[in-house]
Chain A
Amino acid sequence: MTATVTNKPTARKAYSAWANRHRKWLFAAPAMIFVGLLIAVPLAWTVYLSLTDAQGSVRAESNFVGIANYLKVFGDTERFWPAVLRTFTFTGGAVATEMVLGMGIALLLWRPFKGEKWVRVAILLPLVATPVAVGMMWRLIFDPNIGFANQFLGWFGIPAQPWLSGQGTALPTLIFVDVWQWTPMIVLILLAGLTSLSEEPDEAARIDGANSWQRFRFVTLPLLRSTVIVAIVLRGIDALKTFDILYATKGKGGGSFHEVETLNVYAFGLSFDYNDYGIASTVLILFFLLIIAIMWMITYRRKGEGS
């Protein structure tokens, strides 16, 4: 208490006491400042840019235009709204398929068996593979002329498909690629949830004569509810923002007819292919609000229903 600054050991002690007293913020602050600087400042800037007509060079002058960009984007039925629709189609299609397949595979893997190790290895590989490389790999497999996909169909007498190069087939094909890569993630999450369940409720239902479907539907699934929601939220966030496989397979603008142009691809193209920063920022703000709204709805519902 009577520490003098000249007394070195005491000063160190005082410093240590101060550090320990404030360790909560001392520990948390650097990370939060980093994230804050890298998010808050850029986000504020993006909001500002969305109100200007900034375009062209990074250092070019820009004028404040108010909400003109927002009106323009909302009235854009050529690029913006189709991109919104594609984002929902892609995310909905991919996440729903991944949940169903993931649940099926997780249930099959639930009880231990011989060779389990190999299945676990097999499902881990797509998950860690670099998405750009995955995109290139499927690009070769789905090539209409030399790809294995059409060769495979040919063995069964099914006519060749355009896959990624077809205007109507590109998005479903990319949903398939996403399902291939990310179903394992759902399997792992659900499996972690399943293994944490106690066996007693399932056993009790079995003794009461419930069949497997009834036991799954009325015992396992309700117990697994929070895990399922976590899986949907985690996968949903990433699926909404999917960029790598879309850009790697279809390139700028989501293909020549914009057939796979989701909001993320659209915003990226506006920013870095056309340098139309004002409109790009507007699209991004709307995209960001959309993600927040969806996540809020899912978590709000979860709280609302309670447990």
Chain B
Amino acid sequence: MTDTVTTHGVPERTAPERMVPRRPRKPRAYPIFRVVVLTLTVLVFIAPLVWMLVASFKTNVDIYDSGKTFFFTPTLDNYANVLGRNNYFTFIFNSFWVALWSTVASLILGVPAAYAMSRFTMQRSAMVVLMARIIPGVSLLVPWYFIFANLRLVGGFGVLILSHMFVALPLIVYIMMSFFDSLPTELEDAGQVDGLTPIGAFLRITLPLSVPGLATAGILSFIFSWNNFMFALVLSGANTKTLPVAIFNFVSYASIDWGSLMSAAVIVTVPIMVIALFTQKYVVSGLTAGATKG
């Protein structure tokens, strides 16, 4: 028996037993190694974003000039061009509007569903909703396009919001299920003993306690909708175009206006990064939801 335990690659100790086991000396090199590697990691993740930001303040002449990689006269022309001449305020609004309503609608549908699935352990139903996360979006886009084109809805906000809900809903159900799983039922039970109906207990006790979970689910759903490209590429019209589609359309011409393209990229990424930084705790807990349950 002891043999099988000690053969896990751990060398058996040959030294006589000590009363107080001495910790092996920590190698000095490790802290330095750690700092160096982590600094490099941070650089690799941040540098490209800084590069994008820097390029957005350069004229196209400067972007083409390798002598002006780091030293140049910053200009706001690109932003003026993108926001002024290219109607980007409309696209910003479109992205925001679609993200907002698809998130709100998905929360209304998804939170009670997640609650029921968690409390009644409806595993098969949960699987149905989570299937939406597995199915390739393109396979639904063709029929959606058929259906919505026949209903003459393609190009409106409604279709975009519906399609983004398709991404948001499984995400919200997934996050809220693992949140409700970890929420003790005692308080709800106590509420019911005190005369609340089960639904009353959910509305008045569980929901207020779920604010952190709701924030997590809501923020992530907003981010995913804001970043979504494929659905809007097919289903949006000239007036409902979202930011990622607008940026993509920038390069469909022969020569690329790099400065404006980079400022457009900054305009789409910076708001979402700011939101993510202020709500870091929630974003991280949402991205890692269910990861430790196994």
Residues of A within 8 A of B (CB): 16, 19-20, 23-28, 30-32, 34-36, 38-39, 41-43, 45-46, 49, 58-59, 104-105, 108-109, 113, 115, 118-134, 136-141, 146, 148, 151, 180, 184-185, 188-189, 191-193, 196, 205-211, 214, 217-218, 226-227, 229-231, 234, 237, 240-241, 243-244, 247-248, 251, 263-264, 267-268, 271-272, 277, 280-281, 284-285, 287-288, 291-292, 295, 307
Instruction: Tell me which of A46, A207, A218, A226 contacts B142 (CB under 8 A).
Output: A46
Known: A46-B142, A140-B262, A209-B13. A125 touches B45 (CB 8 A): yes
B137 at the interface (CB under 8 A from A): yes
Considering the complex of A and B, which 8 residue pairs feature the smallest CB-CB distances, nearest first? A226-B294, A42-B143, A31-B113, A27-B116, A133-B265, A27-B112, A284-B139, A192-B288
CA distance A46 to B69 in the complex (A): 50
The residue on B at minimum CB distance from A272 is B234
CB 8 Å contact bits of B262-273 with A (1 = contact, 0 = none): 101110110011
Question: Judging by beta carbons under 8 Å apart, are A248 and B149 in contact?
Answer: no
Q: Do A31 and B110 touch across chains, with their CB atoms under 8 A apart?
A: yes
Do residues B272 and A130 form an inter-chain contact, with CB atoms below 8 A?
yes
Residue in B44, B64, B244 whose beta carbon sits within 8 Å of that of A180 in the complex: B44
Which chain B residues border A189 with CB–CB below 8 Å? 287-288, 291
Cβ contact within 8 Å between A196 and B135 = no
B153 at the interface (CB under 8 A from A): no
Q: How many residues of B contact A (CB 8 A)?
A: 104
Please determine whether A23 and B198 come into contact, CB atoms closer than 8 angstroms: yes
Which of A27, A211, A280, A295 is the most central at the interface, judged by chain B CB atoms within 10 Å of its CB? A27
Count, A-B residue pairs, CB within 8 A: 308
Q: Point out the residues of chain A lying under 8 angstroms from B13, CB to CB.
A: 208-209
Q: Which residues of B contact A (CB under 8 A)?
A: 8-11, 13, 21, 23-24, 34, 37-38, 41-42, 44-46, 48-49, 51-52, 55, 63-64, 66, 69, 109-110, 112-113, 115-117, 119-120, 122, 125, 128-129, 131-147, 149-150, 162, 165-166, 169-170, 173, 197-199, 202, 223, 226-227, 229-230, 233-234, 243-244, 247-248, 250-252, 258, 261-262, 264-266, 268-269, 272-273, 275-277, 280, 283-284, 287-288, 290-294
Q: Is the CB of A32 within 8 A of B125?
A: yes
Question: Which partner residue on chain A sits nearest B22 by CB separation?
Answer: A207
In the complex formed, the residue of B with least CB distance to A196 is B292
- Report chain A residues within 8 Å CB of B119: 24
A19 to B264 CA separation, bound complex (whole angstroms)? 50
The answer on a CB contact under 8 Å between A27 and B113 is yes
- Could you say which residues of chain B place their CB within 8 Å of the CB of A146? 63-64, 66, 258
Contacting pair A126 B138 (CB below 8 A): no
Closest chain-B Cβ to A107's Cβ sits at a distance in Å of 10
Q: Which of B113, B122, B131, B244 contacts A244 (CB 8 A)?
A: B244
**Given A121-B280, A205-B10, A284-B138, also A20-B125 (CB < 8 A):** no
Could you list 24 examples of A-B contacts with CB < 8 Å?
A16-B199, A32-B125, A35-B169, A39-B166, A46-B142, A49-B142, A58-B150, A108-B34, A115-B38, A122-B45, A125-B45, A128-B223, A128-B283, A136-B247, A137-B262, A146-B258, A189-B288, A193-B291, A205-B10, A209-B11, A243-B230, A244-B230, A284-B136, A287-B139
Given contacts A35-B132, A137-B48, A248-B248, contact A131 B227 (CB under 8 A): yes
The docked-state distance in angstroms from the alpha carbon of A226 to that of B252 is 44
B-side binding surface: helix, strand, loop or mixed?
helix
Complex formed: what's the CA distance from A291 to B131 in Å?
Answer: 11
- Residue of chain B at shortest CB distance from A31: B113
The answer, among A45, A136, A188, for a CB contact under 8 Å with B146, is A45
Contacts of A120 in B (CB 8 A): 280, 284
Interface core residue of B116, B145, B223 (most chain A CB under 10 Å): B116
Contacts of B170 in A (CB 8 A): 35
